[in-house]
Amino acid sequence: MRSLLCGTDKCVPYCEKVMKNMIEQLKNTKDLPDDDLKAIIESSDSEKELFEVADTVRKQHYGIDVYIRGLIEFTNHCKNDCFYCGIRKSNQNVKRYRLTKEEILSCSQNGYDLGFRTFVLQGGEDLYYTEGMICEIVSEIKSNHPDCAVTLSIGERSLETYQRWFDAGADRYLLRHETANEEHYKKLHPTGMFLENRKRCLWDLKEIGFQVGSGFMVGSPFQTTDFLIEDIRFLQELQPDMIGIGPYISHQHTPFHSYQSGDFHKTLRLIAILRLMFPYALIPATTALGTIDNQGREMGLKAGANIVMPNLSPLKNRKQYELYDNKICTDEEAAECRMCLEKRVESAGYRIVTDVGHVLRGSRG
């Protein structure tokens, strides 16, 4: 593929026309050469145009519908020590908690009554919950709510374990690859954690038949635009159903506490780029986006996102699942959270639907 950049000084940084052509090409071919992608990621000059085109594509596939996912953060214990994460094993300031099966079922019942048809069980990598316990929790949620989907987001496991969870009824799995660059991965994680294993998990999940979500943080320490392009290229290989990206936000009790948080507008541009490359994908306007900017989730939707994830976790535990500083939505009951988001989504020109919200595979192409 040839770059649209003319390579002369005449249009540096990049003239409006060149940028416009690149956005159009991205929309039509769902791809761009690295140099052109780099220009769109780095420059805010044509982002208004970029967001409009991404919104048009999103509307072609999903209309103004926004799917909601009820997030149940059921454990903040973790055996891992990711340098960026507030609930990492070595953070002694965290008051640790685990929800019982009954508490998890009660969160999902509450969610069901509020119109949720997908439950996302997320947590640290906590081996207290055995393979069998997760099977039991998943199958009880599914038997209580046969019209709902269950998503798991509990880290790296063996193919056999994933298979059992799938057989127990889990429909989807979220596992961000975090960064597709080996060197960068090593800078974000301690020894003993391997990008290769994370990728292996994603391929296993896909092979088993899960709807798979991957993604990365924007602006994580040591990230470069070239690394972001590697992230995008990896997603092109994986062809995930869901793509979760949000800004990196620093946490005071991690080794990365002094690193700056990611750039809000760059995150929005990446959402828009991903919408144009993966028109069918389920892309959330994340809580991290809403934390870094009060209008973050609304702007995320306008840039191409089509999912929001209100919190269904018990109020008493919300602040204990603090992945980054000042995380929002820790003071409202599930019903309030749901209503607040409904208003926000409407104010942005979209509508929340009561729907299981599977990926529209038919529109993949």
Which residues are at the interface with ligand FES (CB under 6 A)?
78, 80, 82, 85, 87-88, 124-125
Min CB(141)–ligand SAM separation in Å:
18
176 contacts which partner out of ligand FES, ligand SAM, none, CB within 5 to 8 A by kind?
Answer: ligand SAM
Distance of alpha carbon 186 from alpha carbon 206, whole angstroms = 25
CB 123 to ligand FES: min, Å: 7
Long-range contacts of 91-100 (CB under 8 A, 24+ apart): 91/253, 91/254, 93/253, 94/253, 94/320, 94/322, 95/320, 96/320, 97/317, 97/320, 98/74, 98/126, 98/128, 98/129, 99/72, 99/74, 99/75, 99/313, 99/314, 99/317
Residue whose token pair is 């609930």 = 87
- Smallest separation (angstroms) from ligand SAM to the CB of 196: 16
Give the residue with the Cβ less far from ligand SAM, 178 or 230: 178
Task: Report what 175 binds from ligand FES, ligand SAM, none; CB cut-off 5-8 Å by kind.
Answer: ligand SAM
- Closer to ligand FES by CB, 18 or 82: give it: 82
152 binds, among ligand SAM, ligand FES, none (CB under 5 to 8 A by kind): none
Shortest spacing between CB 87 and ligand FES, in angstroms: 5
Q: Nearest distance from residue 40's CB to ligand FES, in Å? A: 30
Minimum CB distance to ligand SAM smaller for 84 or for 162? 84
CB of 125 to ligand FES, least distance (A): 5
| C-beta closer to ligand SAM: residue 46 or 122 | 122
The H helix count followed by the E strand count for the chain is 14, 9
Select the binding partner of residue 88 from ligand FES, ligand SAM, none (C-beta < 5 to 8 A, by kind).
Answer: ligand FES
**Alpha-carbon distances, residue 138 vs 1, 38, 155, 160, 171 (angstroms):** 45, 42, 16, 16, 10
Can you read off the two tokens belonging to residue 27? Answer: 């929309």
Q: Where are the alpha helices (DSSP H) in 278-332?
A: 287-292, 296-302, 315-318
Binding footprint of ligand SAM on the chain (CB under 6 A): 84-85, 122, 124-125, 153-155, 175-176, 178, 217, 246, 248-249, 251, 288, 323-324
Backbone torsion region of residue 5, taken as left when φ is above 0, otherwise alpha when ψ lies between -120 and 50, otherwise beta: beta
